[in-house]
Structures are given as structure tokens and as C-alpha cells.
Structure 1
Amino acid sequence: MCATACVEEVDGSNVTVKERGRRANFKNPGRSTFQKIQVDKCLVKDGKKADWIVRKIGVGSIVVELKGKDLDQACRQLLATVEHPDCQPWLQEQKALLIVCSRYPSVDTTVQKVRLAARKRGMRLSVVCDQGDFIFEDVLKG
């Protein structure tokens, strides 16, 4: 599929991505232009990949995985997406990783390792349960 078929430009007061009962909503009071890039089943057909890339033009990109409870898999999917050549053009210089999951154990070494790996690449990893409303720049800063 053509990469542009996987991209939706939006400028509403809320920029929402959702899948399997999970959602991430980015507040957009200034109605800036965002791009929602559907990675899973569109931009990347095979292999490990996250669900979405949410991009605020000129600001940054957030790779989003909407997951049940398998945080190990979610972390692998996020890192695979950042490295995937078809995703590279959609990732701006400032990047962050976001997992929205059904449960998050208080002690999870995989998440700690991925946080460290992300930091080494200049990114932040955020993990939240159920669903969330976010300020885009706050997620980028970690």
C-alpha cells in the first residue's frame, strides 16, 4: 500500500488513535496540524511494529503501541518501528515512545531496559494504563 494512504492529517481539538479498546488522545487546543500514521496493517505489513506514529509537524513524533498486558511485546514492537526503514521518513528528530496497556506491573525489568535504550537514542518511554489524555510536548519530554 502507498505510504500516503496510511496517513491522515488532522487539526481538531483532540487527536485520537485507538485500537482494541485502548486509546491515546492528544489535546490540541491550538488546532495544530498533526499526522496520524497507521503503522500496523498499513505502513508495515509484516514483522514486529507498533500501532501508530502520531506526528506534530515541526515538533516531533510519538510512536504509540496500544496493548493489552504483554509489555515485553509492546517494547519490542516500539523499538522495531523506530528502526524500520518504512517508518523512518515519518519520525522527526525529536521522538518518544508511548505504551497504553491494560495493566502495568510495578516491577517490570523489560520496561526499565527499554527506557534506558530509548534514552540512549534521545527518546523517552511513557507507559500508562487503560487510556490517556496527553499533551503532546509533555510526552516528548518524558
Structure 2
Amino acid sequence: MKSFPECEEYVSDTKIVLQENKSKITFKNSNQEQIRKIKVDGCAINDNKTLRCDYVLIPQEDIEIYVELKGSDISHAVKQIQSTIALLSDDVKNKKKLCVVVSTRVPTTGTNIQQLQIQFKQKFNASFIVKNIQYECNLEDPLKLRS
């Protein structure tokens, strides 16, 4: 991942909370590891034309977590994450990624979400999930998607 000194910080809190309006994700960091948190929207990517997600977390050198906190437009959130991966990832195809959309939209499952999960796995080596309003993810093994 590229460096953005003015847009990133290292946090070691037991809970790392990212929130925007009603959408919220909490990353459990029980071992208090140093996690690199990058604010993408309005900082690392700071123009109004480029699609970008809200945050990227780097819990380990070989894992990137892309987070979009969204209202209801899941398809726009997908485009934002895809654009951010293309612009910021060191290795679009091989580095492991977790892409999370926390949405106020219901439902979060269905054939369109399943198709996106397949596409993200093939194109970006990424797990893709959509959760409603609030979600917790364990940073000890984020790719297993355990709460």
C-alpha cells in the first residue's frame, strides 16, 4: 500500500470504530496490534471526480481491508471500492483483501451479492461482504469473517 503520511495513523485500540451517519463497523483488535488506518475519502484521494471508498485498514503487511460506509446504493459502493483498489493497492491481483460495505439497505444477500463475491475473488483476490448498519470484524483473522 502506498504511503499517505497526512492521511494515515497507526492505532492499537482494542476496538477500532469507523462510522458515518447510520453505518458503523467495529474492528476487534484484542491483541492491540498496530493497525494502519488510512482515511481515503477526502484525504488520500481528495478530488471530487475520482470514486473512492471511505477507509483502508492494513492489519498485516499482506492484508488490505477496504471499507465503504454507505446508505443504500450498493452498486455505487462496489464501484468506489474497485476504484480504490486499482489506485492504491500494491498488488491488485495477489495481495489478500477484505472489502466491506456497511449499508442501511436490506437485504444484504441475494444473487447479485453472490455474483459480486465471485467477481471480487477472481479480479482482486478479495472477500466481499455487505452488512447492515452495524458490523463487527475480528482483526486477528479478518479473512475468516468471524464476528
TM-score if structure 2 supplies the norm length? 0.83
Give the RMSD, CA atoms, in angstroms.
2.2
Q: Which runs of 5+ in 2 are unaligned?
A: none
Q: Which whole-Å CA distance do the structure 1 matches of 2:29 and 2:140 have between them? A: 11
> What secondary structure sits across from 2:9 in the alignment?
strand
List gaps (5 residues or longer) in structure 1.
none
Moved over 6 A (4+): none
The structure richer in helix per residue is 1
Identity between Structure 1 and Structure 2 (%): 25
Q: Does 1:17 align with 2:6?
A: no
Are positions 1:78 and 2:59 aligned together? no
Partners of 1:124 and 1:141 within 8 A in 2: no
Q: Give the Å deviation of 1:131.
A: 1.0
- Residue 102 of structure 1 and its aligned partner are, at CA, apart by 0.3
| Cα distance change of structure 1 residues 137 and 123 upon mapping to structure 2, 3 Å threshold | farther
Give aligned pairs, total.
Answer: 138
- SS of 1:5's equivalent in the other structure is coil
> Residue type of the partner of 2:127?
R
Q: Cα deviations across residues 52-100 of structure 1 (Å, max 9, x unaligned)?
A: 001113351110000001101011111111101xx22598922110000
Secondary structure at the counterpart of residue 4 of structure 1:
coil
Separation in structure 2 between the aligned mates of residue 13 and residue 117 of structure 1, nearest angstrom: 32
